């Protein structure tokens, strides 16, 4: 499809005529401070998921509890404690790949399926230190629940060509987006080769298991053994130059899977966008829509409603001078992006039928992740639940000899909170409402209501009632109660950190079941013992904590995203028959 010029509404108005859910309408335009500072985002080619960042004092705009820039023991604010030293150990590399079965009478009998999760898990290559988690090679773990008290575990690094090359060489061969190679600027100058990290998410679709990273193509894995098959064009749907998002969306109304790619072209001051729709559980392509968005942009996640694909366009620009330093090897390329909070953010409404898109000005913000979006039946408004970050900063790794997790002030990060944007796609009028005071990310809903009206959102939350901090516990936001949204959460011990919580329906759940009739699965990293657990919570009783904790033999670092596949229950015999020990040693931490 050819370039279609954008249709930009003449004015963006914060409407007060629409009654938002929850509290008051918030006027937002004009509140943003008029300043530009350098932000250190991921890359021209790929940016991964969760905010794990170092905020340097020169860029610091707010602070809870002051300096906190060096590794330090448990930190106490109010009644909550988190153990920073333990948290840092979540960035030790995984050093084992294994396959085994764990038994527990606490495993629910109506939990039948497989939980796959991905995340960067290699933070040193030989002696070379990875400086930012986004630069770490992906490792996938799979946990199959048989409904008879047994869980079959296996984990394996994704053998991308770059991973294999570096493992053989025993050193970094590719500069990371935040991690220059050893050898100073000369070794890094003009080196724009990209290693597919396959570290962000995992998708099970059309019988294939795919490790996702938005800077490149999916990598297909064997779902039994997790052995790497090959980089995939998804049965020919992806062209040679295409990449593929780490955040596909599942359209429950049509059964289709929607995915996208973005490719900034700074010389033309545009960003090319493509959307694909795949038929239900297949790689048969229903449609592809190509568009161009103005300016430089990067897009980690999207929303899909009945008529639109939706992207959030943050007011970011590519700083030419900084990009040149990146090209010359003085900086990582990730340090070349500026966020201008004096400019509006925009929502790009891209019709699924390929008709002209609209850009709607909203308040300046950045959004890594959306929870869900849908079109309200009675007035056609777009209801978009966004994890909104008012400011944006990803870390400044190459200027510091230490990796970002050792210097990050997690409590000085921009707060990341769940908001509902109510947008009239015809007039461009919009309102926004905060749905929960807690700092959160990794939002998800029951896939049964994906792209449809939902009631519950699950996510990961910091240990503080309002402030930023490391993601540590589980949060559930309920939109329906009288008097506005309510939330429920559970936090583990100060030295324990949960990964992304993933909702999974009970095997017995039917169309008439409650939307939250199921479990929340996550992995827990114990920073004192360097052991991990699989935790299962009753999705209707989050604050009561796990109903099952399964200790693993395997250490899983802080991960990124995962997916639950209901009903995919290969037998222990099939998994063990497929398991092959890789011939190469993974090296140390
Ligand atoms: Co993400």
> How far is ligand 1, taken at its centre, from the CA of residue 48, in Å?
6
Distance from C-alpha of 118 to C-alpha of 342, rounded to nearest angstrom: 36
> How far is ligand 1, taken at its centre, from the CA of residue 103, in Å?
31
Work out the end-to-end distance of the chain between its first and last CA atoms, rounded to an integer number of angstroms: 47
Contacts 24+ apart (CB under 8 A), 71-77: 71/406, 74/494, 75/411, 77/411, 77/464, 77/467
Residue 269 is predicted with a pLDDT of 86
Q: Within 10 Å of residue 135's Cβ, how many Cβ atoms?
A: 28
> How far is ligand 1, taken at its centre, from the CA of residue 51, in Å?
9
Q: Which residues contact 401 (CB under 8 A, 6 or more apart)?
A: none
The yes-or-no verdict on residue 483 having pLDDT over 80 is: yes
Secondary structure of residue 407 in the 3-state scheme: helix
Residue 30 is predicted with a pLDDT of 28
Q: State the DSSP string of 476-518.
A: EEES-STTS-EEEEE---TTEEE---EEEE-TT--TTS-TT-E
> How far is ligand 1, taken at its centre, from the CA of residue 15, in Å?
31
The alpha helices in 118-218, defined as continuous H runs, are 161-169, 184-188
The yes-or-no verdict on residue 39 having pLDDT over 50 is: no
- Per residue in 413-444, pLDDT (tens digit) is 889 999 999 999 999 999 999 999 999 999 99
Q: Nearest CA to 276 among 321, 298, 243, 299?
A: 243
Quote the strand ranges of 369-485, DSSP E: 370-375, 382-388, 417-423, 430-434, 440-444, 456-461, 473-478
What residue has token string 């930012």? 132
> How far is ligand 1, taken at its centre, from the CA of residue 244, in Å?
13
> How far is ligand 1, taken at its centre, from the CA of residue 133, in Å?
13
Q: What is the mean pLDDT of the chain?
A: 83
* Confidence band for 48, pLDDT divided at 50, 70 and 90: very low
Distance from C-alpha of 44 to C-alpha of 9, rounded to nearest angstrom: 29
Which stretch of 11-20, 180-189, 223-232, 508-517 has the lowest confidence by average pLDDT?
11-20
Q: Which residues contact 324 (CB under 8 A, 6 or more apart)?
A: none
> How far is ligand 1, taken at its centre, from the CA of residue 300, in Å?
6
> Across the strands, what pairs with 504?
519
Residue 583 is predicted with a pLDDT of 72
> How far is ligand 1, taken at its centre, from the CA of residue 288, in Å?
22
> How far is ligand 1, taken at its centre, from the CA of residue 378, in Å?
32
Q: What is the DSSP letter of 126?
A: T
> How far is ligand 1, taken at its centre, from the CA of residue 280, in Å?
23
Distances (CA, A) of 38 to 214, 295, 365, 375, 395: 23, 17, 15, 36, 10
> How far is ligand 1, taken at its centre, from the CA of residue 148, in Å?
33
The yes-or-no verdict on residue 263 having pLDDT over 60 is: yes
What percentage of residues in the chain have a pLDDT greater than 70?
78
> How far is ligand 1, taken at its centre, from the CA of residue 45, in Å?
15
What residue has token string 């039928």? 353
| Cβ burial, residue 9 (10 Å; 0-12/13-18/19+) | middle
Secondary structure of residue 418 in the 3-state scheme: strand
Distance from C-alpha of 370 to C-alpha of 386, rounded to nearest angstrom: 5
> How far is ligand 1, taken at its centre, from the CA of residue 580, in Å?
30
- Per residue in 529-578, pLDDT (tens digit) is 999 999 999 999 999 999 999 999 999 999 999 999 999 999 999 999 99
> How far is ligand 1, taken at its centre, from the CA of residue 555, in Å?
22
Most confident of 48-57, 165-174, 205-214: 205-214
Most confident of 34-48, 49-63, 309-323, 331-345: 309-323
* Confidence band for 338, pLDDT divided at 50, 70 and 90: confident
> How far is ligand 1, taken at its centre, from the CA of residue 247, in Å?
6
What residue has token string 């250190």? 40
Q: Which residues contact 443 (CB under 8 A, 6 or more apart)?
A: 369, 370, 371, 372, 385, 387, 418, 457, 458, 459
What percentage of residues in the chain have a pLDDT greater than 90?
66
Distance from C-alpha of 197 to C-alpha of 172, rounded to nearest angstrom: 13
- Per residue in 106-156, pLDDT (tens digit) is 999 999 999 999 999 999 998 888 888 888 999 999 999 999 999 999 999
Q: Which helix (DSSP H) or strand (DSSP E) does residue 358 occupy?
A: strand 358-362
Q: Within 10 Å of residue 440's Cβ, how many Cβ atoms?
A: 28
The yes-or-no verdict on residue 49 having pLDDT over 50 is: no
Distance from C-alpha of 25 to C-alpha of 513, rounded to nearest angstrom: 33
Residue 401 is predicted with a pLDDT of 76
> Across the strands, what pairs with 432?
421
| Cβ burial, residue 399 (10 Å; 0-12/13-18/19+) | middle
The full 3-state SS of 273-321, as one line of letters, equals EEEEEECCCCCCEEEEEEEEEECCCCCCCCEECCCEEEEEECCEEECHH
* Confidence band for 350, pLDDT divided at 50, 70 and 90: very high
The yes-or-no verdict on residue 7 having pLDDT over 50 is: no
Residue 394 is predicted with a pLDDT of 56
CA angle 210, 212, 218 (to 5 degrees): 60
Secondary structure of residue 87 in the 3-state scheme: helix
- Per residue in 501-543, pLDDT (tens digit) is 999 999 999 889 999 999 999 999 999 999 999 999 999 999 9
Which pTM does this prediction carry?
A: 0.85
> How far is ligand 1, taken at its centre, from the CA of residue 561, in Å?
7
User: φ and ψ at 49, to 5 degrees?
Assistant: -95, -90
What residue has token string 């009970």? 506
């Amino acid at each position: 499809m050819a370039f279609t010029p954008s249709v930009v509404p003449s004015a963006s108005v914060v409407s007060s005529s629409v009654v938002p859910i929850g509290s008051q309408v918030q006027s937002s335009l004009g509140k943003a401070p008029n300043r530009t500072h350098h932000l250190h985002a991921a890359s021209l080619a790929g940016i991964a998921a969760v905010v794990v960042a170092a905020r340097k004092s020169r860029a610091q705009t707010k602070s809870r509890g002051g300096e906190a820039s060096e590794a330090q023991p448990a930190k106490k604010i109010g009644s909550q404690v988190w153990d920073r030293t333990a948290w840092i150990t979540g960035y030790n590399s995984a050093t084992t790949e294994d396959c085994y079965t764990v038994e527990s009478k606490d495993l629910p009998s109506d939990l039948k399926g497989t939980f796959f999760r991905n995340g960067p898990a290699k933070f040193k290559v030989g002696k070379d230190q990875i400086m930012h988690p986004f630069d770490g090679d992906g490792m996938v773990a799979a946990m199959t629940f048989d409904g008879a008290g047994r869980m079959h575990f296996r984990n394996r690094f994704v053998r991308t060509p770059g991973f294999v090359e570096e493992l053989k060489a025993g050193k970094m061969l590719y500069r990371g987006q935040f991690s220059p190679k050893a050898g100073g600027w000369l070794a890094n100058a003009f080196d724009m080769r990209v290693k597919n990290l396959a570290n962000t998410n995992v998708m099970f679709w059309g019988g294939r298991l795919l490790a996702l990273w938005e800077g490149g193509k999916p990598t297909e894995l064997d779902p039994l053994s997790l052995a790497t098959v090959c980089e995939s064009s998804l049965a020919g749907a992806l062209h040679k130059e295409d990449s593929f998002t780490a955040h596909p969306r599942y359209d429950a109304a049509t059964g289709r899977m929607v995915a996208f790619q973005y490719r900034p072209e700074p010389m033309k001051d545009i960003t090319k966008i493509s959307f694909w729709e795949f038929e239900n559980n297949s790689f048969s392509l229903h449609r592809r829509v190509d568009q161009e968005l103005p300016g430089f942009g990067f897009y980690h996640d999207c929303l899909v409603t009945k008529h639109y694909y939706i992207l959030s366009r943050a007011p970011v620009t590519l700083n030419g001078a900084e990009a040149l330093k990146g090209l010359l090897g003085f900086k990582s390329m990730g340090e070349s992006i500026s966020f201008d909070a004096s400019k509006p953010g925009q929502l790009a409404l891209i019709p699924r039928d390929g008709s002209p898109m609209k850009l709607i000005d909203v308040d300046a913000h950045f959004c890594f992740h959306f929870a869900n979006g849908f079109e309200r039946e009675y007035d056609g408004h777009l209801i978009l639940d966004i994890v909104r970050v008012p400011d944006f900063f990803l870390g400044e790794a190459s200027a510091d000899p230490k990796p970002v997790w050792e210097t990050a002030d997690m409590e000085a990060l921009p707060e990341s909170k769940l908001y509902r944007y109510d947008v009239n796609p015809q007039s461009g009028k919009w309102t926004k409402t905060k749905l929960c005071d807690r700092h959160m990310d990794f939002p998800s809903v029951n896939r049964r209501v994906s792209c449809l009206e939902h009631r519950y959102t699950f996510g990961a939350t910091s240990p503080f009632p309002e402030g930023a901090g490391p993601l540590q516990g589980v949060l559930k936001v309920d939109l329906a109660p009288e008097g506005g949204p309510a939330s429920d959460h559970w936090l583990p011990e100060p030295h324990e950190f949960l990964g992304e919580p993933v909702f999974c329906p009970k095997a017995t759940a039917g169309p008439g079941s409650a939307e939250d009739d199921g479990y929340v699965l996550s992995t827990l990293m114990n920073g004192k013992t360097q052991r991990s657990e699989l935790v299962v919570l009753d999705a209707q009783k989050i604050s009561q904590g796990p109903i099952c904790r399964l200790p693993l033999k395997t250490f899983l670092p802080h991960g990124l995203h995962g997916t639950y596949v209901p009903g995919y229950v290969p037998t222990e015999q099939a998994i063990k028959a497929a398991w092959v020990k890789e011939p190469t040693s993974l090296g140390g931490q």
